[in-house]
Amino acid sequence: MPVLRFLSRVDPLVRLLLLAIVLATVLPVTGAQRPVAQGVSNGAVFLLFLLNGLRLPRREVRAGLAHGRFLIPLAAWCFLAMGAAGWALWGVGSVLLPANVALGLLFLGVLPSTVQSATAYTSLAGGNVANAVVAAAVLNVLGVFLAAPLFALAAGSSAADFDWASLERIALILLLPFALGQIAQDRFGHLVRDHRALATWLDRLSIAIAVYVAFSGAVEQGLWTRMGLIDWAALLGLVAVFLAFGFGGAWALGGGLGLARRDRIAFLFAGGQKSIALGAPLASVLFPPAVAGLLLLPVLTYHLLQLVLSAPLAARLNRPEAAR
């Protein structure tokens, strides 16, 4: 069937995210089940970051931190420049969209890059894969520390149901398992390397569970009745502007820094993409599901559009004539 053939070509994480959204729409977790579901989600996020700690070699983190000429401008672009762009688009979106959906544009702006897809598209485009892997991984580690404080600073205390006590949950559910994974890496890291496919699916399922619980709260709050066609069009337009700024600005900045072409390609994909892998768990830890589900709408939209853009862009950059 054409539909099944099409779905087979879609990224597995995207398929799981779409399934989570559909399931949350038709069978949302509500009432007395919500605390249980939130506990399951927190446990899944804990597992996700434990696996990340076991997977990411400490030497790669040290190597990435040592590559200051590449990493420092990339981090500034990812967190500060795109955070400022998210803040500006939040101002525009607050006129056009429900409040927490518009606020999601700011949340999107302060998230780090992806790891897997930034690396994959850097490879397809003929870029420096080692730089992409290390930079995206280091940005994700930094994102655990930086995303929430930057969001709180830019949004202000009254913009969302956020308080600094939420950072305790970040420490317990995100930082603690990552640190435990790093400590136990020499003894247990081989389990992740030897069962790479299983670990990858556990990652995806953890993210999908966080999205399901968050969207259940948003559905209970009337997500599909609060967002009309005009709202969806406005969201799509604002995210498209954000995408153009993210990718165009990262490419221009890489050129302005005088990076070699292969490094510039790595800078492009690590700097232009945003991570649902951190966004969904972070939102589920920081906010109640009703808020988290709405905040994630721009993140999910950006994630889907960046995949649509990245494949043809990587193919174009890999053409011989493009390197001239």
Q: Are 276 and 299 in contact (CB under 8 A)?
A: yes
258: which 2 tokens? 């005088």
Poorest-pLDDT segment among 58-67, 183-192, 210-219, 280-289: 58-67
pLDDT digits (tens, 9 = 90+) for 210-265: 888 888 888 887 778 878 899 999 999 999 999 999 999 999 999 999 998 989 99
**The predicted structure's pLDDT at residue 258:** 92
Q: What is the mean pLDDT of the segment spanning 46-51?
A: 83
Q: Are 98 and 226 in contact (CB under 8 A)?
A: yes
Confidence of residue 3 (pLDDT cuts 50, 70, 90): very low
CA atoms of 77 and 2, how far apart (whole Å):
41
**Where do the domains of the chain lie, and which CATH numbers do they carry?**
12-317 (1.20.1530.20)
**The predicted structure's pLDDT at residue 160:** 56
Amino acid at 313: L
Amino acid at 320: P
**The predicted structure's pLDDT at residue 143:** 85
Q: Give the count of beta carbons closer than 10 Å to the beta carbon of residue 295.
A: 28
**The predicted structure's pLDDT at residue 6:** 47
**The predicted structure's pLDDT at residue 102:** 94
309: which 2 tokens? 């853009």
Q: Helix, strand, or coil here: 288?
A: coil
115: which 2 tokens? 């790891």
pLDDT digits (tens, 9 = 90+) for 73-125: 999 999 999 999 999 999 999 999 998 999 999 999 999 888 777 888 888 88
CA atoms of 119 and 136, how far apart (whole Å):
8
